[in-house]
A and B are shown apart, each in its own frame.
Chain A
Amino acid sequence: MSSSAIIINALALLLLIIALFKDRSRAWKALRMAGRSFLRILPTILLVVVLMGLIVGLITPDKLAQWLGGKSGVTGVLITAMAGAVLHIPSLVAFPMAGSLLRSGASVTIIATFVATLTMIGMVTFPIEAKELGKRFALLRNGISFIFALALGVLMGVIL
């Protein structure tokens, strides 16, 4: 088990014990929620596990670097940004995916841009945002976020 995995499990256990002492019924409610979320996300987890095995196992690192690495250039970053804006992948499974791709040759800029647009911009949720907060607000927030996501990707690539 990696050190971060130990920290996360220890933290969850500690908070769970505190919660059980503070308010048993609310702690159980939280646990039931966690169980339900696990069942709901399980097919997605399995999907990502099989898909990443297929991608990483089949595509050689230099091919992957060509498509998702420094060589893909501005077009690569823009396509990734668009993909992240359109797709609707929970970040719980998006981070493991991103980690696999990063280890097998994708560039930091591409991965950071993808994570940024994936989380900040929601094409799927846009109608709800427009309804609750106004169309102008939703357009502005998603538009500005898109520009900042690109900036974030480039900056991350420069820094890391």
Chain B
Amino acid sequence: MSVQSKNPWKEWLVLIILLIITALVAILFPAHQSSILKESWSLGKEMLMILPAVLILMGLFSVWISRDMVVRHLGQTSGIRGVALALLFGATPTGPLYVAFPIAAALRHKGARLSNIVIFLTAWACIKLPQEMVELNFLGARFMITRLILTSTFAILTGLIIEKILDRQNIAPENRKGDD
């Protein structure tokens, strides 16, 4: 996971401002005090009970599933197996989406199918396995599974559509300059 360059103090500052606003609101609307406290307390407790475990899962995945491994396996696999691998490799390593772009670019140079690259990116963006655990906990199994199935379907469709559009245009010379 790459470290974001943004200043962490800014977030603490926003937090302090928000706390002041909350305190003012609590003083102005005493009737809402208990419901504000109750929601914050239960949400905070729930998050602290699962986030450390999720972060450990993310750490393990990103140490064991390296970028080289993804590029090596996805660069040459095609067909249904390729689609399944693209979904799996998108869903397991962790990190923000911008970490996946260079991997996708490396895959392209290795000659991976464009549709699989798109599937990999979409899976990376929205069906990360550790994050799915958070979704399961906070939104429930029905929500998580339905979204997982729909997202996987849409990921494959997006891949096929983009492949169809770009492969046809790839012969055009003006397109070449964008590749490097």
Q: CA of A9 to CA of B122 in the docked complex: distance in angstroms? A: 27
Q: CA of A141 to CA of B22 in the docked complex: distance in angstroms? A: 40
State which of B15, B40, B60, B139 has its C-beta within 8 Å of the C-beta of A102.
B139
With a CB–CB cut-off of 8 A, which chain A residues contact B37?
A: 53, 57
Asked whether A26 lies within 8 Å of B50 as measured between CB atoms, the reply is no
Asked whether A5 lies within 8 Å of B46 as measured between CB atoms, the reply is yes
Chain B interface, >50% SS class = helix
Q: Quick check: is B27 within 8 A (CB to CB) of the other chain?
A: no
Within the complex, the shortest CB–CB distance from B155 to chain A, in Å, comes to: 9
Residues in chain A within 8 A of chain B (CB atoms): 1-2, 4-5, 7-9, 11-13, 15-16, 19, 26-27, 29-35, 37-38, 40-41, 43-54, 56-58, 90-93, 95-96, 98-100, 102, 108, 111-112, 115-116, 119-120, 122, 125, 128-129, 131-137, 140-141, 144-145, 148, 151-152, 155-156, 159-160
With a CB–CB cut-off of 8 A, which chain B residues contact A19?
A: 60, 64
Within the complex, the shortest CB–CB distance from A60 to chain B, in Å, comes to: 10
Q: CA of A68 to CA of B136 in the docked complex: distance in angstroms? A: 21
With a CB–CB cut-off of 8 A, which chain B residues contact A50?
A: 15, 18-19, 22, 40
Chain A interface, >50% SS class = helix
State which of B12, B62, B134 has its C-beta within 8 Å of the C-beta of A96.
B134
Q: Report the nearest B residue to A26, measured CB to CB.
A: B63
Asked whether B161 lies within 8 Å of A34 as measured between CB atoms, the reply is no
Asked whether B55 lies within 8 Å of A34 as measured between CB atoms, the reply is yes
With a CB–CB cut-off of 8 A, which chain B residues contact A133?
A: 101, 104-105, 108
Within the complex, the shortest CB–CB distance from B92 to chain A, in Å, comes to: 12
Q: Contacts A91-B128, A95-B139: A58 and B25 contacting too (C-beta < 8 A)? A: yes
